[in-house]
Structure 1
Amino acid sequence: MKTAMIVKQYSQRARLALVNRKAQKVKLLLLGQHMNDGLVAKLILIFLLSIVAYLYLQPLFYMISTMLKSLADLLDPTVQWIPRKVDWGNLDNAYAGLHYASSLVHTLTLAVVPSLISILVCSLTGYALARLQFPGKTVFFALIFMTFLIPPQIIIIPLYVIYSKLGWLDTPLVFIVPALFGQGLKSALFILIFRQFFLSLPKALEEAAMLDGASLFRLFFRIILPLSVPACLVVFLFSFVWHWNEGYLSSMFLSHDFMPLSLRLSNLETEIFGQAPTMEMLAVNPVTEGTKMAGAFLIVFPPLLVYMIAQRWFVEGVERTGIVD
């Protein structure tokens, strides 16, 4: 009798221990060890990221949906996202109205050439500020930072006068030459990025190279610059996108002979109607809404393609340069 009771108590304790272990496993699965690696935390994170992704992608989806709609679908309020019939005519009209082939070459010239120059010039300047000691270094760094704070609208009139006297208006020189002197679009920010990156590199590499007799420029181009590929990629992508979307300075210095896509888009309705658009035309006009969305898609697609290709290296570069801090 006593043995049976002992066996029964042992069985109850074993079942209770088994239930506790299962409950612990379920709790560990749902909540995790640190409340942020469990299933509940992951579901909440996925939900929040889905909302953010929708907020960012919804305009792109609307643009693609609108550019593929025919005039009948645009006028039909029952057609929201999916058109009844895909119409490629809007893309054809936008391609012709933007003069896409020539404008794409102009935009690539304004985006790629200054970006590559900015990598070289800003990396040299950032390395000097990070590693070298020279008189007036603090003042020089402060002046660079001031150029980042001063809005371009303040100096637009003297810049226009200077470029006009030099004969640089309506040429890519208005963006290329300032980049050669480290004063291009957002060049001060690029210098700060390179300086931050070079400060994170160990000095032992430079000391070892100097002991082997390497000159300063040989040290930079053979050792430092190859190690700074993540920073170079970040600077290139930032500069590429900013030059690609630049509209204010382009509208001041460029005209019909050398016009990028950002300016062509603002004149797209003029190309369609053959005259300057009236106030009624500037409103949401279903007749041209599809063509305008198609023009916007043709402009944003190349930067999106570049980012999709270089996304992994871009994220790595952002982390290593300390931008996220």
Structure 2
Amino acid sequence: MKLEGVYKQVRDDVRATLADRKTQKLKRLIIGQNVKDGVIAKLIIIALLTVIGFLYVKPILYMISTSLKSVADMIDPVVGLIPRELNLDNYKDAWKGLNYLDGFADTMTIALLGSIFQVFTCALTGYALARLKFPGKNLFFFLILIAFLIPPQLTIVPLYMIYSELGWINTPFVFLIPAIFGQGLRGALFIIIFRQFFHTQPKALEEAAKIDGASVFRLFFRIMMPLATGACLVVFLFSFVWYWNMSYEAALFLSKDFTPLSLRLSSMQMELLGNKAIDFSAGVGKDPISEGPKMAGAFLIIFPPLVIYLIAQRWFTEGIERTGLVE
């Protein structure tokens, strides 16, 4: 009897131990060793990311949906994001209304050349501020910070007067010449990015190159610039997108003789031929606006930088990490 009682006690203890271990494993699985490792935390993070992602993607989905809708689908309140039939006439009208090929060439000229110029000059300036010693270095960096903090609206009038005196108004020179000297769109930010990157590089590389007789420019072009490929890609993509989407500066400095796509969208209504959609706020006798072609035109405008980003996404993410922007 005693042996049987001991056996039952041992069996109950073993079962309790196993049950306790299962409970601990289940607890670890749900809650995690740390709070962020558990299933609950992961589900919350996934839910938050899903909501945030939907908020970012919803305007694009609405744009694409509206661009593919016919007038009847836009009138019918039953039709949601998915149209009854795909209407590609909106894209034909948008292509014609934007005069897309000419607008694409004008926009690409400013965005591509301006981005290339800014990458080179901002990298050179950032390297000088990070590595070289010269009188007034801190003052120069302070002025760059001031240029970064001052809103561009405060300097637009003196800039217009200067460009007008130089005869650059209505030409791409208003964007390309400042980019050559590192003063393009957000040029101060790009200088700060390069300065931050070059600060993180080991000084042993420069010391070894100087021992071998390398000059400052050779050291920069042969050693530092190849190392700064990630930072160059980040700056190029940022600069390209900002030049591509600019509207405020372009509306002040450019005219119909040289008009980027961002400005052509606002004036497309006057150039569209046929295919009129509905203006729900318009009264009787008023001409309706072309909602479908406008959304199609907006998608045609954002499509090129979207493709570039999708191709360069992996290198862009790596470049962000290496430049220290996420620290």
**TM-score range, shorter-chain basis?**
over 0.9
Show the 5 A alignment for 1:160-175.
Answer: 160-175=160-175
Counterpart Cα distance in 1 of 2:304 and 2:239: 14
Measure, in 2, the Cα distance between the counterparts of 1:16 and 1:212: 73
1:62 shift after superposition:
0.5
Percent of pairs identical after alignment?
58
Structure 1 residue ranges without an equivalent (≥5): none
- Look up the match of 2:270: 270
Instruction: Indicate the larger mover: 97-106 or 165-174.
Output: 165-174
Cα-to-partner distance string for 1:123-159 (whole Å, 9 max, x where unaligned): 0100110011100111111111222223322332332
TM-score by length of 1: 0.94
Give the counterpart letter for 1:95 in structure 2: W
Number of the residue aligned with 2:35: 35
Matched residue, 2:199: 199
Match for residue 304 of structure 1?
306
SS across alignment from 2:154: coil
Which residue of 1 is the match for residue 322 of structure 2? Answer: 320
Return closer, same or farther for 1:270/1:259 CA change in 2, 3 Å cut-off: same
Residue 121 of structure 2 is aligned to residue 115 of structure 1: no
Verify: 1:154 aligned to 2:154, yes or no: yes
Which residue identity lines up with residue 30 of structure 1 in the other structure? Answer: I
Q: Give the drift of 1:175.
A: 0.6
Q: Report the equivalent of 1:129.
A: 129
More moved, 74-83 vs 313-322: 313-322
Residues 75 and 286 in structure 1, CA contact (< 8 A), matched pair in contact too: no
Query: What's the counterpart of residue 143 of structure 1?
Result: 143
The answer to whether the 8 Å contact 1:237/1:307 transfers is yes
Take 2:289 and 2:143, find their aligned partners in 1: how far apart are those partners?
51
Q: Which runs of 5+ in 2 are unaligned?
A: none
Out of 305-314 and 152-161, give the one that drifted further.
152-161
Total equivalences in the alignment: 319
* Secondary structure at 1:36 match in 2: helix
- Rounded to whole Å, the distance in 2 between the matches of 1:280 and 1:77 is 17
RMSD, matched Cα: 1.8
How far is the alpha carbon of 1:254 from its aligned partner? 0.9
TM-score (ref. length: structure 2): 0.93
Q: Which residue of 2 is the match for residue 104 of structure 1?
A: 104
Any conservation in 2 of the 1:182–1:188 contact (CA below 8 Å)?
Answer: yes
Distance 2:244 2:289 in 1: 28
Structure 1 residue 110: Cα displacement = 0.9
Write the distance in 2 (CA, Å) between the matches of 1:142 and 1:280.
52
Aligned with 1:234: secondary structure? helix
Q: Distance in 1 between matches of 2:21 and 2:208?
A: 58
CA distance in 1, matches of 2:189, 2:234: 11
Which deviates more from structure 2 when the two are superposed, residues 218-227 or residues 2-11? 2-11
Partners of 1:129 and 1:43 in 2: CA distance: 45
- 1:215 corresponding residue in structure 2: 215
2:41 maps to amino acid: A
1:95 Cα offset (Å): 0.7
Cα distance in 1 for residues equivalent to 2:55 and 2:155? 36
Q: What is the deviation of 1:286? A: 6.9
Which amino acid in 1 is paired with 2:14?
Answer: A
Deviations 1:103-137 (A, max 9, x none): 01111111111111111100010011001110011
- Matched with 2:14 is 14
On the 8 A contact 1:174/1:253 being kept in 2, the answer is: yes
For 1:189, give the aligned amino acid: L
Q: Structure 2 counterpart of 1:93, which letter?
A: D
Instruction: Describe how 1:171-182 pairs up with structure 2 within 5 A.
Output: 171-182=171-182
Measured after TM superposition, the shift of residue 162 of structure 1 is 2.7
Residue 288 of structure 1 corresponds to: 290
Deviation for aligned residue 1:93: 0.5
CA distance in 2, matches of 1:184, 1:323: 20
Matched residues in 2 for 1:156 and 1:40: separation?
51
Q: Which amino acid aligns with 1:131?
A: R
1:267 offset after TM fit, Å?
0.5
